[in-house]
């Protein structure tokens, strides 16, 4: 997606050859117009899939997921990184390994908001090694729901998550795929 790639080129910063910082429009400050454009693009790509629910992971997946939900006319549920005391016993849980933070954490999502009749679109901000996506897929499986596909804002194509998911015949739509990066250069896959 041209608009997103331009934004990454102008405002993104490769911290090193592995981590991209996009705090000025996605991960801290949020650009609402860009989020709307991302949501429209996800909605366009998954329009034929009969999506009934979008799930994402707090916090940076929420903005693009909500915009996609608005365009598709479906609710958005975000998995929480800590189980709130107000969440009863009925919830799905899974584990994520964060390569950026080098730690494992649990995520949970109330079973009230994901049913076996749902056709689910997973949306997240980044795809790196695929652990966050795998945990959300695990939750879809626990709910016995149908996984229609995964929408990613920025995929780092040089890390193995995208290849692993596509090898399982999962439809992964990434709006920008980075092939390679260094402190002064970000190269996209066509």
Q: Which segment (33-41, 77-85, 102-110, 124-132) binds ligand 5GP by CB under 6 A?
A: 124-132
- Residues in contact with ligand 5GP, counted by CB under 6 A, come to a total of 19
Contact between 129 and ligand 5GP (CB under 6 A)? yes
Contact between 175 and ligand 5GP (CB under 6 A)? no
Nearer to ligand 5GP, 132 or 139 (CB): 132
Give the one residue of 39, 125, 136, 174 binding ligand 5GP; rule: CB under 6 A.
125
Place of tokens 């990454």: 8
User: Smallest distance, Å, CB 94 to ligand 5GP?
Assistant: 12
User: Smallest distance, Å, CB 140 to ligand 5GP?
Assistant: 16
Contact between 60 and ligand 5GP (CB under 6 A)? yes
Query: 33-38 — which CB contacts under 8 Å span 24+ positions?
Result: 34/3, 34/4, 34/7, 35/63, 35/64, 35/66, 35/67, 36/67, 37/1, 37/3, 37/4, 38/1, 38/4, 38/64, 38/67, 38/68, 38/153, 38/175
Closest CA to 1 of 177, 189, 176: 176
DSSP result, 63-114: HHHHHHHHHHT--EEEEBSS--TTS-S-EEEEEEEETTTTEEEEEEEEGGG-
Q: What are 116's two structure tokens?
A: 């076996």
Contact between 130 and ligand 5GP (CB under 6 A)? yes
Place of tokens 């890390």: 159
Window 64-103: contact mask with ligand 5GP (x via CB under 6 A): ----------------------------------xxx---
User: Smallest distance, Å, CB 48 to ligand 5GP?
Assistant: 26
**Using CB under 6 A as the criterion, which residues of the chain lie in contact with ligand 5GP when the complex forms?**
19-20, 27, 57, 60, 98-100, 124-133, 161
């Amino acid at each position: 997606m041209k608009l997103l790639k331009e934004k990454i080129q102008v405002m993104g910063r490769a911290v090193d050859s592995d981590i991209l910082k996009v705090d000025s429009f996605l991960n801290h400050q949020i650009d609402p117009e860009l989020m709307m454009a991302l949501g429209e693009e996800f909605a366009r790509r998954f329009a034929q899939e009969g999506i009934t629910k979008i799930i994402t992971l707090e916090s940076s997946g929420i903005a693009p997921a909500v915009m996609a939900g608005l365009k598709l006319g479906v609710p958005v549920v975000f998995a929480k990184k800590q189980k709130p005391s107000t969440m009863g016993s009925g919830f799905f849980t899974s584990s994520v390994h964060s390569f950026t933070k080098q730690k494992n954490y649990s995520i949970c999502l109330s079973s009230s908001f994901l049913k076996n009749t749902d056709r689910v679109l997973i949306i997240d901000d980044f795809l790196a090694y695929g652990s966050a996506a795998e945990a959300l897929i695990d939750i879809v499986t626990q709910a016995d729901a149908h996984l229609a596909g995964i929408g990613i804002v920025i995929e780092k194509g040089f890390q193995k998550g995208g290849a692993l998911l596509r090898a399982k015949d999962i439809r992964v739509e990434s709006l920008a795929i980075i092939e390679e990066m260094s402190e002064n250069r970000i190269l996209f896959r066509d």
